[in-house]
C-alpha cells in the first residue's frame, strides 16, 4: 500500500454525548476482528479514549491536536501513527465544528478532517426525533463545503419503525447514506468518574470486555463493508510522515530516564516517549504503585498525568519509592512532572503525605479547570529556556497551595486573567500544564541533555 494513501475516516457528532466513543471504538474492534490492521486516533488532548482505542486496535492510540502541535503537523503525525495500517479510524471531539474557544475552527474535528482530507461519518443521537434528523444532517453537511460529510450512523434508535422513519427522512432530505443503526436498548458498560471514563489501564479485564462488547455491537449494527469503501475513498496525503529522529539531535551517553506509568499515571502521549528516545535517552518505565524504588542508574525522571487522587493511600504507603524520588531530585537530576506528577511531588495530597519534593499541598475541589493555554517560560529551567513559548492544556479538579514557586514554571493568560503557575527551581519542573512534545520537541532534547550532564546515581 502507498504509505501516503491510507484509507481513513473521521467519526464525528453534532455534540458531545451522542455516542462517538462507543461507535469509534467499536469500529476499531470490529475491523480488527476482520483481520485488518487498524490505526486508532483521537482529535484533541484526550488521554482516556485513546486507551480504549489501543485495546481495540492492538496498537497505540494517537492524538491529533492542531492547537498543541500546529495544523502543519497533523497530517505528518497521522502518517507516522498509521504507518503499516490497512485503515485508520479517527474519533472526533465534542461537536463536529467545536474547536478551541474563540479561535474559529482551530483544533475542531472539522479542522482535523480537512487537514487529513478524510470523509466524515456523523453519529446522530436519534432518540427524540424522526424527520428532524434530515434537517440536522443537512445543516451539518452544508455548513462547511470543505468538510465531506459522507455517512450517518444512527444511535439510540427505538424500534424498526423508528429506524424506517429516520432512513426515509434522510434519503428524502439529505442524500447522506445511513451506514448503520444502533438500538437504544443496546448498552456497553463504560463506567465514568469526575474527569470522564475510567482509563482502560485501570479496568484491565473489564476494559477488555467493554471493548469486545463495543466491537460486537457495532459489527452487528453497522455496514462494515460500506465503512471500508468510504475510508478507501480518501485521497492520498502529501508526505513525509513525522519522525522523532528528525526533530531532535541525540546527546551522547544514553542517559536513563525513568517514566512513571501504571494505573495512577496513565496519561502520556506516545510521541513524548519517542522524542526522549530519539534525543538519546533510554526510557525505563516504572509503576509508582508497586515498585519500591526507581530503576537503577537513572539520571532523570518524567511523571505525566493520571489519577493519583484515586490511589493516594497506595502511593503514600510506598514510602521507599517516595524517598527514592526525593533523593533523585535532591541530587540535581532533571525531573519533569505534569498535573498528576505535580500533585505527587508535593508535600501532601488531600492530607496524605506525598514525595515532599515541592513546598506545596494539593486537594480535590468541585471546580473543573479545563482549557487550552498559551504559556511562556519565565526563566531557564531543565525543560525550557527562558522565553520558550508552548501551547498546552489544563484538565483537573485539584488545586495546589501555593500554586506557583519562587520561580514559576510558566506564565499565561487564563480565563481569570494573567497568572503564573507551577514550579521550576533547581532541577525540577512541575506544572498543571499538559504538553504534547511533538509541538515543542526542543523540550525533550533539553531534558535529555540535562540528564546526560548529571552523574548517574549508583
Active-site residue identified among 69, 339, 355, 400: 339
Site of grid cell 486508532: 40
So what CATH class is 8-232?
alpha beta
* Paired residues of 346 in beta bridges: none
Cα torsion 29, 35, 41, 42 to 10°: value is: -10
Residue-range domain boundaries for the chain: 8-232, 244-452
364 bridge partner residues:
398
Whether 399 contacts 418, CB under 8 Å: no
Q: Point out the residues of the chain with pLDDT beneath 70.
A: 1-3, 185-203, 455-458
Reference 437, options 257, 295, 214; nearest CA is 257
Bridge partners (DSSP) of residue 284 are 258
pLDDT for residue 197? 56
The strand pair at 149-157 and 120-125 is best described as parallel
Confidence at residue 166, expressed as pLDDT on a 0 to 100 scale: 97
pTM: 0.93
In this predicted structure, what is the pLDDT of residue 186? 62
What pLDDT does 191 receive? 53
Sequence-separated (6 or more) residues with CB below 8 Å from residue 101: 371, 372
Same fold, 8-232 and 244-452: yes
pLDDT of residue 48: 83
**pLDDT attached to residue 199:** 60
Straight-line distance from the first to the last Cα atom of the chain, in angstroms, rounded to the nearest whole number: 49
Phi then psi for residue 7, to 5 deg, are -55, 135
Q: What is the pLDDT of residue 3?
A: 66
Q: Which residue has the cell 461519518?
A: 121
The span from the CA of 352 to the CA of 308, in Å, is: 11
Which helix (H) or strand (E) is 197 found in, with range? strand 196-197
Is 69 annotated in the active site? no
In the block, residue with C-alpha cell 513559548: 389
Give DSSP secondary structure letters for 221-286.
Answer: HB-HHHHHHHHHTSPPPP-----GGGT--PPTT--EEEEE-STTS-B--HHHHHHHHHTT-EEEEE
CATH architecture of 244-452: 3-Layer(aba) Sandwich (3.40)
- Listed in sequence order, the DSSP H helices in 96-193 are 109-116, 132-143, 160-173
Amino acid at each position: 500500500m502507498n504509505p501516503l494513501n491510507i484509507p481513513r475516516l473521521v467519526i464525528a457528532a453534532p455534540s458531545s454525548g451522542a455516542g462517538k466513543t462507543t461507535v469509534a471504538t467499536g469500529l476499531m474492534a470490529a475491523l480488527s476482528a476482520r483481520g485488518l490492521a487498524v490505526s486508532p486516533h483521537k482529535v484533541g488532548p484526550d488521554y482516556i479514549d485513546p486507551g480504549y482505542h489501543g485495546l481495540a486496535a492492538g496498537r497505540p492510540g494517537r492524538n491529533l491536536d492542531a492547537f498543541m502541535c500546529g495544523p502543519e503537523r497533523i497530517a505528518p503525525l497521522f502518517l507516522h501513527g498509521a504507518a503499516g495500517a490497512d485503515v485508520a479510524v479517527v474519533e472526533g471531539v465534542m461537536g463536529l465544528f467545536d474547536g478551541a474557544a474563540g479561535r474559529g475552527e482551530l483544533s475542531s474535528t472539522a479542522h482535523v478532517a480537512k487537514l487529513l482530507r478524510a470523509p466524515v461519518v456523523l453519529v446522530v443521537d436519534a432518540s427524540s426525533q424522526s424527520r428532524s434528523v434530515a434537517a440536522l444532517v443537512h445543516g451539518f453537511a452544508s455548513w462547511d463545503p470543505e468538510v465531506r460529510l459522507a455517512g450517518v450512523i444512527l444511535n439510540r434508535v427505538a424500534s424498526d419503525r423508528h429506524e424506517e422513519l429516520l432512513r426515509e427522512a434522510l434519503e428524502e432530505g439529505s442524500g447522506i447514506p445511513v451506514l448503520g443503526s444502533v438500538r437504544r436498548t443496546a448498552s456497553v458498560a463504560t463506567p465514568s468518574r469526575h474527569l470522564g471514563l475510567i482509563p482502560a489501564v485501570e479496568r484491565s479485564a473489564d476494559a477488555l470486555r467493554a471493548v469486545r462488547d463495543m466491537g460486537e455491537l457495532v459489527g452487528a449494527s453497522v455496514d462494515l463493508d460500506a465503512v471500508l469503501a468510504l475510508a478507501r475513498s480518501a485521497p492520498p496525503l502529501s508526505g513525509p510522515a513525522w519522525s522523532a529522529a528528525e526533530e531532535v539531535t541525540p546527546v551522547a551517553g544514553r542517559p536513563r530516564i525513568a517514566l512513571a506509568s501504571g494505573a495512577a499515571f496513565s496519561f502520556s502521549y506516545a510521541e513524548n516517549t519517542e522524542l526522549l528516545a530519539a534525543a538519546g535517552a533510554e526510557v525505563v518505565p516504572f509503576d509508582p504503585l508497586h515498585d519500591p524504588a526507581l530503576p537503577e542508574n537513572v539520571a532523570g525522571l518524567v511523571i505525566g498525568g493520571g489519577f493519583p487522587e484515586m490511589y493516594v493511600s497506595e502511593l503514600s504507603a510506598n514510602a521507599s519509592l517516595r524517598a527514592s524520588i526525593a533523593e533523585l531530585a535532591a541530587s540535581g537530576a532533571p525531573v519533569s512532572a505534569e498535573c498528576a506528577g505535580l500533585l505527587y511531588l508535593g508535600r501532601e495530597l488531600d492530607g496524605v503525605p506525598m514525595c515532599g519534593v515541592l513546598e506545596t499541598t494539593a486537594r480535590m475541589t468541585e471546580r473543573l479547570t479545563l482549557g487550552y493555554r498559551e504559556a511562556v517560560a519565565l526563566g531557564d529551567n531543565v525543560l525550557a529556556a527562558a522565553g520558550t513559548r508552548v501551547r498546552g492544556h489544563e484538565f483537573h479538579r485539584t488545586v495546589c497551595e501555593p500554586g506557583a514557586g519562587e520561580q514559576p514554571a510558566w506564565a499565561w493568560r487564563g480565563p481569570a486573567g494573567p497568572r503564573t503557575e507551577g514550579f521550576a527551581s533547581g532541577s525540577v519542573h512541575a506544572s498543571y500544564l499538559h504538553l504534547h512534545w511533538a509541538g515543542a520537541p526542543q523540550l525533550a532534547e533539553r531534558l535529555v541533555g540535562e540528564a546526560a550532564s548529571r552523574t548517574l546515581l549508583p
